[in-house]
Amino acid sequence: MKYLKYLAFIVLVSSGLIVTLPLKPAEAQVAYGSYVGVGPAVGISDGAQIGGVLAVRYKLLEKPVSFRAQALVGESTAVVPMVSYDVPLNWQTDAYLGAGLVLAGGDTPSPVGNKISFALQPGVDYMVPNSNTVIFGNAIIAFDAYRDKSGTAVSVQGGVGLRF
């Protein structure tokens, strides 16, 4: 009889805890805004140059800052690492301005020139609702980007990415 009182007490307390606990199952959360994507790139400053882009964005969750990198492949290749300041336009869309370097070399210009130069990158990222898909678009403006002549190189690119 003594144990029956303890058992009744444990059942009563346990049932009260079960009612107050959330009943939703635990789900893994994706890091909002981080993605890897691919798409076309068009260099528009030294004659039209068509190529491709491989883009990576790592979004810092607590700050409006992202680390970005793009590899532009055209007649030659350039890698463009950036740090961006992100401004949310709505729940799915961020506009941003990035600053970084164009790492390019060789005799043939890439879509953003053929020497190491400073660059700015304005752009927009759109997170497709209820999916892990991202649609992105941006421009890279590389200052003093050519080895043989002074000039600014501009490339416009966009594509589709997968959030991680």
pLDDT tens digits for 10-63? 555 554 544 444 555 544 344 478 999 999 999 998 788 999 999 999 999 889
For residue 121, list its beta bridge partners.
98
Question: Is the Cβ–Cβ distance between 126 and 134 less than 8 Å?
Answer: yes
111, 121, 149 from 72: Cα distances, Å: 7, 13, 21
Please give the model's pTM, rounded to 2 decimal places.
0.79
pLDDT tens digits for 97-108? 999 999 998 888
